[in-house]
Chain A
Amino acid sequence: MDWVFLSELAINGALTGLLYSLFAIGLVLVYKASSVPNLAQGGLTMVGAYVVLALARDLGMPLWLAIPLAAVVMFGLGFGIERVALRRLAGRPVVMILMLTLGLDIFLRGTTLAISGGTSRSMELGVSYEPLLLGDIFISRIHLVGAGVALALFVAFIVFFRTRTGIKLRAIADDYMASWSVGISVERGVGLSWALASVVAVAAGVIWGEIQGVDQALSLLLLKGLTVAVLGGLDSILGAIVAGIILGVIENVGAEFLDPLVGGGSRELIVAAVLILTVMIRPHGLFGRHDIERV
């Protein structure tokens, strides 16, 4: 057994995993604040990346300005999504809300591609492609940057959910009716959660866009993001981070051993298997809330 090789796999897996977490935080935010599955996060991530590109390339802004501005635009888009679509379905069965977010995802993807075309574009963040050497282990710089962003967001949101606004959002997720009864604006709360998820989508879009190019493949992160979110427990930010690392390591190390056996491409299989096993064995994930049932 080659330990250096194995730890390189594990470390790079963990870093990639943190990038999945970056995506999954968007799912968790919406679920934590409204108990609604956000299956449009793939579409949002794609839109986020395209908005950054549109501002930077087509309007010629520098990236340091384009990214925050894109975050502002997406913040508005998130509020808009709640205002236009979700508000009318508040309190409806989960099937319909699930379908609505899937429809949104398809719509966002289709519209973005209709406007910008399907050819892959590059983000060009200016992060060097030269790998970092840590002892004998090669580490990609952009992955390191992305992992840092994920951890920073993690800390920010942990703090946020302890503030009064954050507690109100968690209250909304618990009980819409009770929230209304004490004067919490459920609509604004849900809108805020989508707005924050859209801002997270910009971060994920920029980092992933730098890694694999800005095209429709960005929306395919949804399965991995979902797996991370479910494994962590759909409403736990800490869960999203830990589960991201776990999934990244399992995927990277597992693929190394499985690929030769099945002739390549076993990553998706591993991810799907983790998702199925999680739901079957521990549906509330590592840190998710157990639903309290009183009889």
Chain B
Amino acid sequence: MFYRLSGVYHSSLISDSRMFKVPADRNLAVFLLLIGLAAPFILPSLYLNSYILPWLIWTAAALGLNLVTGWAGQLHLGYAAVMAVGAYSAIHTVRLGVPWEIALIIGGLAASVIGSLFAFAALRVKGLYLALTTLAMQFVMDWVLTHSPTISGGSHSSLQAPTLALLGQQITSDAGYYYVALGWCVLVTIFMLNLKRTGLGRALVAVREKDFAAAILGVNSFYYKILAFAASSFIAGVSGALLVATFYFLAAPEQFSVNVSIQVLAMVIVGGLGSIIGSYFGVALILLVPGLVNGLVVTASEELGMQVNVETLAHIPNAVYGALIVIILMIEPLGLGKLYGNIRDYLMTWPFDQLRK
């Protein structure tokens, strides 16, 4: 009906290694991209900039973490610290008079260098111990950030981001910020989509499944682990810088605290490890739903004429956020991406599979 297929049957390697194996998926992607491009003309800028824009940038960041956790199978609880490195180095570089384009790349590279330090932990331990080590590294980075005024911006521990300018164009409008975020997110998505089709992507999956078995096949797991951390940290760094440049406008250490690291990991896992579309869903769920529920509680209490404690309201989003993680993991441990996949697989052959039976 939707896909007009009776199953996916490839008759050549080329058709099997296409980016979109099913034409309908490609059409859907193009359609969504068109909606994305038209969004500033459709949505009020309040929604655009307080919901859609952070969603896009966090998705880019989550995809970066998915690269290292979902593809290469390395647990990472210090991702926010890497984002912070990117954000602070980019901003400081711009303040020195370097154009934003180069500053973003420098931010990404700086994050890559620091992020690769996390990889050295990954060379020694994996699983739970890697998670704990990266968590401790996050605490160290937090500490460095809050205790060095030269980095974090003096006594108030906040750093004003200079106005974003790309290609010689000052960007100050809401639509402008939005397009920057959209562009970055699309770029990262295309990179990740292509990663699956390359030897690098396959090598990472091999390292995830069994690193010593991969080593026997001639995959240098040492090299690929570091590469995975470096690539994901680059994405983290640029995402962090863009987040400050287009959304926060003011960099502060709390924006990249340990809770944020946990949040990004939650986005990736709730979305589904290794799933690209899942990361979009996961970010939307973790970022937007707690706020929505809070809004509902406020409206409901007003409708019913009940007085809800301000403090209660302040903590409901957190409770909802935690509950979401638990509930999604209980329903489908492989995340929202898997749920989407199940529905898609069903619709893929529907209604023809009924005939086959």
The 7 closest A-B pairs by CB, nearest first: A107-B322, A103-B325, A110-B319, A110-B318, A106-B322, A114-B315, A113-B315
Counting contact residues on chain B (CB < 8 A from A), the size range is 35 or more
Q: Which of A125-164 contact B (CB under 8 A)?
A: none
User: Is A103 a contact partner of B326 (Cβ separation < 8 A)?
Assistant: yes
Q: Which stretch (B15-23, B131-139, B228-236) binds chain A?
A: B131-139
A246 at interface, CB cutoff 8 A: no
Decide: A223 near B329, CB < 8 A? Known: A109-B318, A118-B314, A276-B140: no
A100 at interface, CB cutoff 8 A: yes
User: Is B69 a contact partner of A95 (Cβ separation < 8 A)?
Assistant: yes
Q: Which residues of A sit under 8 angstroms from B105, Cβ to Cβ?
A: none
Counting contact residues on chain A (CB < 8 A from B), the size range is 35 or more
User: Is B309 a contact partner of A92 (Cβ separation < 8 A)?
Assistant: no
Q: List residues of A whose CB falls within 8 A of some B CB.
A: 37, 84-85, 88-89, 92, 94-96, 98-100, 102-111, 113-115, 117-119, 223, 226-227, 230, 262-263, 265, 268-269, 271-273, 275-276, 279-280, 283
User: Is B121 a contact partner of A113 (Cβ separation < 8 A)?
Assistant: no
Bound CA span A110–B330, Å? 19
User: Is A269 a contact partner of B311 (Cβ separation < 8 A)?
Assistant: no
Q: Which residues of A sit under 8 angstroms from B135, Cβ to Cβ?
A: 223, 226, 275
Least CB distance from A226 to B in Å reads 6
Q: Which residues of A sit under 8 angstroms from B147, Cβ to Cβ?
A: 262-263, 265
Decide: A107 near B326, CB < 8 A? Known: A102-B266, A226-B132: yes
Q: Which residues of A sit under 8 angstroms from B139, Cβ to Cβ?
A: 223, 268-269, 271-272
Least CB distance from A259 to B in Å reads 11
Q: Which residues of A sit under 8 angstroms from B315, Cβ to Cβ?
A: 110-111, 113-114, 118
B207 at interface, CB cutoff 8 A: no
Decide: A96 near B136, CB < 8 A? Known: A114-B312, A280-B121: no
- Known pairs A102-B262, A226-B135, A276-B121 / 12 extra A-B pairs, C-beta < 8 Å: A85-B329, A88-B330, A89-B333, A106-B321, A106-B322, A111-B322, A113-B318, A114-B319, A227-B136, A272-B143, A280-B125, A283-B124
Q: Which of B297-334 contact A (CB under 8 A)?
A: 309, 311-312, 314-326, 329-330, 333
Decide: A99 near B269, CB < 8 A? Known: A89-B333, A280-B121: yes
Q: Which residues of B sit under 8 angstroms from A283, Cβ to Cβ?
A: 124-125, 129
Give per-residue flags for B26-60: 1 if the beta carbon is below 8 A from chain A beta carbons, else 0: 00000000000000000000000000000000000
Q: List 28 A-B contacts (CB under 8 A).
A: A85-B330, A94-B75, A96-B269, A102-B265, A105-B322, A106-B262, A106-B321, A106-B322, A107-B323, A109-B319, A110-B318, A114-B311, A114-B312, A118-B311, A118-B314, A119-B311, A223-B135, A226-B135, A268-B142, A268-B143, A271-B139, A272-B140, A272-B143, A275-B135, A276-B121, A276-B133, A279-B125, A283-B125
Least CB distance from B83 to A in Å reads 18
Bound CA span A263–B132, Å? 27
